[in-house]
Amino acid sequence: MTEPTIVVHHREQLAELLTEAVEVEHNLMCCYLYAAWSLKRRPEEGLTQEQADRISRWRRVILNVAIDEMTHFANANNLLSAIGARPRLGRPNFPVSPGYHPAEVLVALHPFNRSTIDHFVYLERPQGVELPDGSDFVHDRHYVRATHASMLMPSAQDFETVGRLYRGIRDGFEHLTHEHSERALFIGDPSQQITPELVSLDGLTPVSDLASAIQAIDNIVEQGEGSTEDSASSHYQLFCGIRDEYAAMLAADPSFEPARPVAKNPVQRRPPSPEGKTWVQHELAASALDLGNAIYNHMLRLLGSVYEPIPPEARAALVEEAIGLMKLLDPVNEVLTTSPIASGATMTAGLSFAVTREVRVPAASSAIAVLEEADPRARGRRDEARERGAHVGGCRAGARSDGESPLEAPEPHAGC
């Protein structure tokens, strides 16, 4: 199947494509985290030890893929910054409405199951690979997001795979560099980016010229779909491996349930349009959901401030604090995924990753003061959640961690 041509004839079109790329990476990260956090953690949840061990490995794989998506999010924002555009921190709340992304790209928060892992394989598939989407992801809206070279106003464009989007962006960088020169295109301040000096993320690339832009894009594509279809470490192949292992375990034990009964697309307030959403009403779950979203939004503000003209030592401190906040989300989600959505319900909650109308990044002159003021508003409740998480599964939050993923809550140690 021939994919649509992606048009990039001026800086604004390139910035529009990069903005959607950032949002796609952000959305995928949230979806992967949601599925990983829905997985059961202990044999007491109706698992054999072998099943629990296998699920633990799946969780680490999915969490590590989510970390890669954070790298892609940072790289795409570095690309935006390099051409003089503002970073994109926000994204639409889940479930994402039809038309916001191409018809082939459906984004929603679902717990881990066969449909969800099929969906992840579908999203990460290499260009040219024909696969069905997960059974719960119905493509019932068909539309075209077209543009043409004569348009002054940038607009969304069609792509069937994430890899195709980035190849269009790569072509756009090459075209605009050829048309205008590197000096004219790369006008952003390289110091106002997320770099390896601030955080160690595999593939993280500062961007200052065409060569580094291409490197950043190629790193994203190779981690996702792979440099070849059989790249063992690509997200596509990693998800294929989980899918195949899951199928084999179901064949051996048809009653195997690897995930908790977590809701799809949880929301904190009663939605005016409830289709596809789950209202979380239980007091404990609603409180944990509010806390998790507050932590997540503050983390986004911290990361957004890194792109401001602030001193290097402040930039490093903001990244460190953002990483610390991210780790707090695991025990919060342990509370959410073991708490009912309403009194008497068997379905449990999950983090909605809701964002405010605008991710308010303070001006550089006031960034530190504003962020320090904002942080204590949730600090007491974060401590409360840490205590609650410690009582779920036996002193989890205070235990030593031997997990491979920095996003995992510590496993209980002997004596808990």
Q: What is the full DSSP assignment across 131-194?
A: -PPPTT------------TT-SS------SSHHHHHHHHHHHHHHHHHHH-HHHH--S-TTSS-
Q: What is residue 230's predicted lDDT score, i.e. its pLDDT? A: 65
In angstroms, the CA 334 to CA 39 distance is 10
Domain boundaries, the chain: 1-260, 262-416
Token look-up 């959607």 returns: 20
Q: What is residue 171's predicted lDDT score, i.e. its pLDDT? A: 96
Q: pLDDT at residue 78 above 60?
A: yes
Question: Between 218 and 365, whose confidence is greater?
Answer: 218
Average pLDDT, the chain: 87
- Residue 303: partners with Cβ closer than 8 Å, 6 or more residues away: 89, 194, 318, 319, 322
Q: pLDDT at residue 29 above 80?
A: yes
Question: Between 159 and 4, whose confidence is greater?
Answer: 159
Mean pLDDT, residues 116-143 taken together:
91
Q: What is residue 378's predicted lDDT score, i.e. its pLDDT? A: 46
Question: 103: burial class by Cβ within 10 Å (0-12, 13-18, 19+)?
Answer: middle
Mean pLDDT, residues 397-406 taken together:
41
CB atoms within 10 A of CB 185: 23
Mean pLDDT, residues 361-383 taken together:
64
CB atoms within 10 A of CB 311: 10
Mean pLDDT, residues 75-88 taken together:
96
Q: What is residue 138's predicted lDDT score, i.e. its pLDDT? A: 87
Q: What is residue 398's predicted lDDT score, i.e. its pLDDT? A: 32
Q: What is residue 395's predicted lDDT score, i.e. its pLDDT? A: 30
Mean pLDDT, residues 315-338 taken together:
91
Q: What is residue 416's predicted lDDT score, i.e. its pLDDT? A: 30
Given a contact cutoff of 8 angstroms between Cβ atoms, the answer to whether 349 and 288 are in contact is yes
DSSP secondary structure code for residue 359 in this structure: -
Given a contact cutoff of 8 angstroms between Cβ atoms, the answer to whether 207 and 14 are in contact is no
Phi, psi of 6 (to 5 degrees): -100, 125
Q: What is the pLDDT of residues 265-288, one digit of tens each?
A: 999 999 888 889 999 999 999 999
Q: pLDDT at residue 71 above 50?
A: yes
Return the CATH superfamily for domain 1-260: Ferritin, core subunit, four-helix bundle (1.20.1260.10)
Look up residue 352 and give its amino acid: S
Q: pTM here? A: 0.88
Q: What is residue 144's predicted lDDT score, i.e. its pLDDT? A: 83
